[in-house]
Amino acid sequence: MKLFDVYPLFDINIVRGKACHVWDEQGTEYLDLYGGHAVISIGHSHPHYVEMISKQVAQLGFYSNSVINKLQRTLAERLGKVCGYDDYQLFLINSGAEANENALKLASFHNGRTRVVSFGKAFHGRTSLAVEVTDNPKIIAPINDNGHTTYLPLNDTEAMQAELRKGDVCAVIIEGIQGIGGIRVPDPSFMQALREECTRTGTVLILDEIQSGYGRSGRFFAHQYTGIRPDIITVAKGIGNGFPMGGVLISPMFAPVYGQLGTTFGGNHLACAAALAVLDVIEGEGLMENAAIVGNYLLDELKKLPGLKEVRGQGLMIGIEFDSPIKELRSRLLHEQKVFTGVSGTNVIRLLPPLCLTMDEADQFLERLSKVL
Ligand SMILES: Cc1ncc(COP(=O)(O)O)c(C=O)c1O
């Protein structure tokens, strides 16, 4: 059997990782400014993470959600404290798209409505509702195209207010910082107006922090720079440092109903062990603070480089926009300078490194980037 060929691949086989570095099968070392697509939060193969997962799998890898799982309860308590949402409830699943599916379902169960407002360039996943609220017609199959979504321009307060005042919008879904859309940070004033309008119109506010959350922006959630509290927050990627996991943080205004949501694998023992190890390291090694310090340094230094159109972002979630396509530049960064980076559209390089990136590694990246500019 052949693989279903949907990924345009680099001809590189990564076989080993350590902190912010990965190695291919020939032993070539790469600096990882991509974090496997924002997934590696605490660094590759962190010893504490390896130990926690190894111990857990030796003891019990999985049992179903029909029995008590104390690891889930510990994770909910720890996460609530670290992120500042102690009073919220946690529902665990396996991926980002699944987190957004469940968030949208909950919103619709809550207010009985079916329309969703999303924003230009938004990405929320590839499953049915998640893809329907994603602003990319190429990945919305006819079966997913059910007319639930109205896309509005990001940061357009008047358009948002006009739409929500129709009184029939179930939910607004918005990324803490748009990732795939090219690292676009919503204006705090827009977010505050959005919060107010959602409350006034009974619309559920869903913050997708799947890429921008878990400390990446320098705060636990990117929206925490704006001073608002959403009704539902979705997380994935960094939560398990590569172990597949997603979570929905649910405000106390939602009462749980037996059987309304459910999953076979979500919140399994191994995933919880991974997520607890991640929180240990984020807290113990001050990785949020590190993301803020090293991220701000990178943002400042990148802005000094010639030939860049715009540098934007927060913490270690950075977009570097050029006037022309960056395909060749990114390829030279990878093949000549041995640096992995991400991309958005044709003209934006995305930096999403592990949150343990050091100042020295940031300097190495700046030096290697300068060589290919
Ligand atoms: C903001 C955002 N939401 C949702 C998703 C979907 O997550 P997953 O690929 O785990 O389903 C992604 C993935 O890139 C994302 O960046």
Q: Is residue 19 part of a domain?
A: no
Which pLDDT score is estimated for 228?
98
State both tokens at 342.
Answer: 């991400």
Is 222 among the domain residues? yes
Q: Would 8 be classed as within a structural domain? A: no
Identify the domain boundary among 251, 284, 317.
284
Whether residue 266 lies inside any domain: the answer is yes
**What is the pLDDT averaged over residues 57-67?**
97
Q: Which domain holds residue 97?
A: 48-284
Judge if 214 and 279 occupy the same domain: yes
pLDDT tens, residue by residue, 245-293: 999 999 999 999 999 999 999 999 999 999 999 999 999 999 999 999 9
Joined together, the tokens standing for residue 270 give: 């191994």
Residue 87, pLDDT score? 98
What is the pLDDT, as a whole number, of residue 97?
Answer: 98
One domain for residues 199 and 312: no
Single residue among 284, 314, 342 that ends a domain in this structure = 284
- Residue 43 amino acid letter: G
pLDDT tens, residue by residue, 22-58 = 999 999 999 999 999 999 999 999 999 999 999 999 9
Q: 246 and 293: one domain?
A: no
Residue type, 268: N
**Which among 37, 94, 208, 237 is the best mutation to test ligand 1's pocket, defined by most ligand atoms within 8 Å of the CB?**
237
Share of the chain above pLDDT 90, in %: 100
Give the CATH number of the domain where residue 309 resides.
3.90.1150.10
CA angle 348, 343, 371 (to 5 degrees): 70
Counting atoms of ligand 1 from 1, which one is nearest the CA of 37?
Answer: 14
What pLDDT shows up at residue 59? 98
252, part of any domain: yes
Q: What is the 3-state secondary structure (H, E, C) of the chain?
A: CCCCCCCCCCCCCEEEEEECEEEECCCCEEEECCHHHHCCCCCECCHHHHHHHHHHHHHCCCCCCCCCCHHHHHHHHHHHHHHCCCCCEEEEECCHHHHHHHHHHHHHHHHCCCEEEEECCCCCCCCHHHHHCCCCHHHCCHHHCCCCEEEECCCCHHHHHHHHCCCCEEEEEEECCECCCCCECCCHHHHHHHHHHHHHHCCEEEEECCCCCCCCCCCCCHHHHCCCCCCEEEECHHHCCCCCCEEEEECCCCCCCCCCCCCCCCCCHHHHHHHHHHHHHHHHCCHHHHHHHHHHHHHHHHHHCCCCCEEEEECCEEEEECCCCCHHHHHHHHHCCCEECEEECCCEEEECCCCCCCHHHHHHHHHHHHHHC
Q: Are residues 165 and 244 in the same domain?
A: yes
Find the mean pLDDT for residues 162-185: 98
Residues at CB less than 6 angstroms from ligand 1: 95-97, 100, 123-125, 175, 179-180, 208, 210-211, 236
Cα separation of 102 and 109, whole Å? 10
Quick one: 92 and 214 in the same domain?
A: yes
pLDDT tens-place string over residues 339-373 = 999 999 999 999 999 999 999 999 999 999 999 99
The total of other beta-carbon atoms located within 10 Å of residue 208's CB is 32
Give pLDDT, residue 46.
98
Query: Does residue 170 fall inside a structural domain?
Result: yes
Shared-domain flag, residues 328 and 256: no
- Identify whether residues 346 and 213 lie together within a single domain: no
Question: Could you tell me the CATH number of the domain that includes residue 264?
Answer: 3.40.640.10
% of the chain surpassing 70 pLDDT: 100
Evaluate whether residue 10 is within a structural domain.
Answer: no
Mean pLDDT within 124-137: 98
Q: Which atom of ligand 1 is nearest to the CA of 212?
A: 1
**Residue 32 bridge partners (DSSP):** 340
Position 69 scores a pLDDT of 98
Residue 342 confidence (pLDDT): 97
Asked whether residue 221 falls in the same domain as residue 270, the answer is yes
244 Cβ contact list (under 8 Å, min separation 6): 94, 95, 271
Tokens 């990136």 identify what position?
357
12 inside domain: no
Where is the domain boundary, 284, 305, 326?
284
Average pLDDT estimate for 61-69: 96
Alpha-carbon gap, residue 106 to 314, rounded angstroms:
30
User: For the CA atoms of 345, 351, 353, 358, what is the dihedral angle to 10 degrees?
Assistant: 170
Among 124, 134, 174, 209, the mutation site with the greatest number of ligand 1 atoms within 8 A of its Cβ is: 124
Nearest atom within ligand 1 for CA of residue 178? 1
Cα–Cα distance between 162 and 152 in angstroms, integer?
11
Tell me, yes or no, whether 126 and 251 share the same domain: yes
Report the pLDDT value the prediction gives residue 11, as an integer from 0 to 100: 96
How big is the CA angle at 48 (ends 44 and 50), to the nearest 5 degrees? 60
Residues 104 and 240 in one domain: yes
Question: Over the stretch 221-246, which tens digit does the pLDDT of each residue have?
Answer: 999 999 999 999 999 999 999 999 99
Predicted pLDDT of residue 281: 98
Q: Name the domain count of the chain.
A: 2
Determine the pLDDT at residue 103.
98
Claim to verify: residue 83 and residue 189 sit in the same structural domain: yes
pLDDT tens-digit map of 133-167: 999 999 999 999 999 999 999 999 999 999 999 99
Residue 167: its pLDDT value, please? Answer: 98
Label residue 100 by pLDDT band (50, 70, 90). Answer: very high
Q: Which residues contact 304 (CB under 8 A, 6 or more apart)?
A: none
Atom of ligand 1 nearest to the CA of 209: 1
Mean pLDDT over each residue of the chain, to the nearest integer: 98
Whether residue 340 sits in one domain with residue 280 = no
